[in-house]
Amino acid sequence: MTSYHKIRIDGVNVFFRSAGSVLKPTMLLLHGFPSASHMFRDLMPLLENDFNLIAPDLPGFGQSDAPDPDEFEYSFEHLTDIIAKFIDVLNIQKFYMYVFDYGAPIGFRIARRWPDRILGIVSQNGNIYQEGLGPKWADRQDYWNHPTVAKRDSYRSAFAAKTIIGQYTYGTVPDTVSPDGYTLDIAYTHTPNYAERQLDLIFDYQTNVRLYPQFQEYLRTYQPPLLAVWGKNDPSFIYPGALAFKRDDARARVELVDSGHFALETHAEEIAAYIKEYFAH
């Protein structure tokens, strides 16, 4: 069964859910935007017999603390620092990672820091390639190159209920996505300073794109076992980003499922089967 915890890291209470046995290999599950560890609510019961599963909420997301952006730096490097300390406090020495969306640049930063501690990687719509960036990223590149207050404010639409529901349902068969996940994500948008901390991360995402070559170099150098499972209809991180893993990692396996960005909402059982087939001992 899944249990729920909080641990204090650098003055921030980090919430995490845990399942499985400590006698099994650990898998760290890193969520993306605009979600939190509840995105793994269907997957964890399917993997708990094979792994020790740890799924934190990033600071500023879900049930973790969300410090005021004036007092806490919402950047991917800082979030990585927090998660790295979280890993050490829990004494996780070697581990698999499941990375999705925002979780990918955080996870690959961790992998570059500790290559010898990574047992393998599942990347589910977790992009580290230019060819995986969908059409919307051209506008973001313009924003990063020529930032203005007006452009920053335009991204407040990303937090609208309609936008979040679309992230969940676009590219899926009608009536197959439960409202549970997106309803909870929409509720979190009403927490204090939500927009400002998320807008900070949207602007900082440019640092991830700049690091893509270094993430790719990590793969070429260390050749970790890697399973790229992609909702092939995702308009944000398009499926050529999944295929690109094979260019740098000879051990990469790519599986495309008929879903969108939040592929676990419709294909948790299929994704769990791929993970167990590829990784489980």
Cite the active site residues: 261
| Residues 61, 58: Cα–Cα separation, whole Å | 5
| Residues 32, 100: Cα–Cα separation, whole Å | 6
Max CA pair span of the chain: 52
**CA dihedral in degrees (46, 48, 54, 57; nearest 10)?**
30
